[in-house]
Structure 1
């Protein structure tokens, strides 16, 4: 399978400014330097063994590639963030504007009467056991958009918003018997389908940003924007870990927490893996073969929407691999705001994926939109606390989210074991 090579960067990609375009040009230049240095390393290895200086140069450029990609992602994220509290707020309905004004008064000055009246009028559950009030829908949507940009597994998974505490999904473990029959032939009675149920409970995550009263009194400060920016990183970090390795106890269940089995013995309820044949590394002979085997372990119906998920350090190792024609399997992003590719499939960095080690499951490949489900319970709540950390005001912000594998045939793993 030949690797796809991205064209040189063109200025003005996607309407991004010169800062993003310049960073993208530097990324492409760094990748060309990396290929030259790695080709030199491989040539030395074939002749007499790799020179230490050359090996260090390859790793140095490899690290620079990672840093440049991270910079581009950060710049693109900033460019795509819409401003809250602008014209959308002015054209919103009366109830939304009223909620926004009441929430603003609560956050800035602790005036809760307006929110109490609105929640009573809406016949909501009111104040939760841990206190707090629901943020305006515009702020909740903005938090969700930012999490999708920051949380790698959420960005590629199926996301459902629920109003109950648990999302239950039935699935068919065995269907009715089917077969061919002649037009006038007798039809044998078919077996009934066997159904089972997957349950995805929504667990609570929290963040506690702090602000000075001076900041809150400043009318120029957009409270919605400030709150979304303060909680996004904390929520994304908690979600990122849970969706990969969470044990399902008080948090979502990550896809690596499920039982695994060699692909040849795969059964429903477990994730299948392909072994590299070498403990803790790719094999020295034909090192790209395990990746090819991993891709084709996935059925074609899932493979067309497949994505790789791995950590930054694992991607640094994959970046050195070539196909049988000497072409690099890894390619840089085609343009700012898009992921790099591996064998023409997108690569998503998840730092909670394990790095290469003996027996590690360091690479996942699959159609995560069909394979992994994220459930968000509607409503983000905020409790204002001006007492616990004077002179600062704390905002205990909670969100309920769950997750787990919904199709065990849609995700495959690469195990670095003999």
Structure 2
């Protein structure tokens, strides 16, 4: 990790300590923040967010540089499999300069319209664990993310979809026909049985959720000059643009989708864990947050996939909350790769979650592995058109993805905080 990142982390720690000092002082004096203190708090909270963004950008840049160096080293050495370069690289006839891997060369030729038709299916070479592609979590595989075009695209898709970041269960299917996934609506219950009496029956209740394949698409236009410039990371540019566009579109539905003409969002199917008090415009308290945490039953609450989701404004509000012992609920991740935590569980920001408001579902907590994402077709489909923007000499790419999603356990695996109604 670079000196710059270390300095940013030190500054982040200093800002957080200063924020704590302001909040602690008002607590000790049993009063609300003064106007001046509130202004200082807001400025430092904004700086904390900016530092988070800079740290993430710096770590991503370092990771990309490492990936590029590793890829160059593999190409230069021929992957350790001889002059043929079957281990991941090729050499030119002189055997000295590294070249682009064959799959990337074919991709660039297709992008320039030099063969291969107008369609290009982007699929993984083998099984992919989507959860291992979260860049911010090295312990979950972030440091071993492959550098192929497919993996770069999927990484951007995940980075822009909080549901995919959170560890949702991903089902890949080759075709797009509707599949029926069983959902649990009630569990079995037990009871005391006196001697000689009949044991009552109690069976779990199941239903079915149809998972279809809604089509998501994005148009990306690239100048002919950019296509012809071999010094430009064209694959990275298209992977970023397509991944972000599709990830943002699906990500919004994965949170609040209605299930009618779009996926069912996790908020749509989640049950209410806590309802806030009145007279506070939908705001939550520290007790509300703790109650929401414990409203999820222990097996789901303890799951590695149990996370918090909320909007930025809710995170800002949570930073001020303390438990009954005076400890802050929000625990900033100050170590490399360590996420921010609330009650020991990761916090994921998603702008699609409602902000604090009357009757708004502004906090989500639970086991996100119980949310199923269905991806049909096995990958992303690209189509190229040289005619669509003929008058401006732009080449148009169309990225298509077919997906659906729904929560499969409706017994309380995921719960929400709902703001008071008045």
Tell me the TM-score normalized by structure 2: 0.76
SS at match of 2:263: coil
Q: Distance in 1 between matches of 2:324 and 2:106?
A: 64
Q: Distance in 2 between matches of 1:98 and 1:281?
A: 56
Q: Distance in 1 between matches of 2:268 and 2:20?
A: 36
Q: Distance in 1 between matches of 2:416 and 2:181?
A: 24
Structure 1 residue 93: Cα displacement: 8.4
Instruction: Say whether the 8 Å CA contact 1:297–1:412 is kept in structure 2.
Output: yes
Structure 1 residue 312: Cα displacement: 0.7
Instruction: Say whether the 8 Å CA contact 2:26–2:33 is kept in structure 1.
Output: yes
Stretch deviating more after TM superposition (151-160 or 298-307): 151-160
Q: Which has the higher contact order (CA 8 A, sep 6+)?
A: 1
Aligned to 1:366: 366
Q: Distance in 2 between matches of 1:356 and 1:298?
A: 21
Instruction: Say whether the 8 Å CA contact 1:99–1:136 is kept in structure 2.
Output: no
Structure 2 residue corresponding to 1:391, chosen from 388, 393, 411: 393
Map 1:172-211; keep pairs closer than 5 Å: 195-211=206-222
Instruction: Say whether the 8 Å CA contact 1:41–1:55 is kept in structure 2.
Output: no
SS at match of 1:302: helix
Q: Distance in 2 between matches of 1:204 and 1:234?
A: 13
Structure 2 residue corresponding to 1:104, chosen from 98, 102, 108: 108
The answer on 1:254 being equivalent to 2:265 is yes
Instruction: Say whether the 8 Å CA contact 1:212–1:391 is kept in structure 2.
Output: yes
Q: Distance in 1 between matches of 2:48 and 2:324?
A: 24
The answer on 1:143 being equivalent to 2:153 is yes
The answer on 1:68 being equivalent to 2:69 is no
Q: Distance in 2 between matches of 1:175 and 1:341?
A: 30
Structure 1 residue 42: Cα displacement: 4.0
Q: Distance in 2 between matches of 1:31 and 1:189?
A: 56
Structure 1 residue 111: Cα displacement: 3.0
Instruction: Say whether the 8 Å CA contact 2:375–2:404 is kept in structure 1.
Output: yes
Structure 2 residue corresponding to 1:227, chosen from 230, 238, 248: 238
Structure 2 residue corresponding to 1:406, chosen from 405, 408, 412: 408
Structure 1 residue 139: Cα displacement: 2.1
SS at match of 1:386: strand
Instruction: Say whether the 8 Å CA contact 2:282–2:360 is kept in structure 1.
Output: no
Structure 1 residue 176: Cα displacement: 8.7
Question: Pairwise CA RMSD of aligned residues?
Answer: 3.2
Q: Distance in 2 between matches of 1:218 and 1:364?
A: 46
Q: Distance in 2 between matches of 1:319 and 1:282?
A: 13
SS at match of 1:388: strand
Structure 1 residue 172: Cα displacement: 5.5
Map 1:4-403; keep pairs closer than 5 Å: 16-43=1-28, 46=31, 50-81=33-64, 82-83=67-68, 87=74, 90-91=85-86, 100-108=104-112, 110-112=113-115, 115=116, 132-135=119-122, 137=124, 138-156=148-166, 157-165=168-176, 166-171=178-183, 195-258=206-269, 271-278=271-278, 279-282=280-283, 287-305=285-303, 306-370=306-370, 372-377=371-376, 378-389=378-389, 390-403=392-405
Structure 1 residue 367: Cα displacement: 0.9
Q: Distance in 2 between matches of 1:368 and 1:153?
A: 7
Q: Distance in 1 between matches of 2:203 and 2:316?
A: 50
Q: Distance in 1 between matches of 2:247 and 2:183?
A: 30
The 3 A distance-change label for structure 1 pair 34 and 164 is: same
Q: Distance in 2 between matches of 1:255 and 1:45?
A: 39
Deviations 1:259-316 (A, max 9, x none): xxxxxxxxxxx62331122353446xxx311111111111100111221111110010
Gaps of 5+ in 1: 1-15, 117-130, 259-269
Instruction: Say whether the 8 Å CA contact 1:282–1:288 is kept in structure 2.
Output: no
SS at match of 2:254: helix
Equivalent pairs counted in the alignment come to: 365
Deviations 1:172-226 (A, max 9, x none): 6578999999xxx999997987653222212122222222111211223343223
Q: Distance in 2 between matches of 1:366 and 1:335?
A: 24
The 3 A distance-change label for structure 1 pair 44 and 51 is: farther
Tell me the TM-score normalized by structure 1: 0.77
Aligned to 1:128: none
SS at match of 2:216: strand
Q: Distance in 1 between matches of 2:202 and 2:27?
A: 59
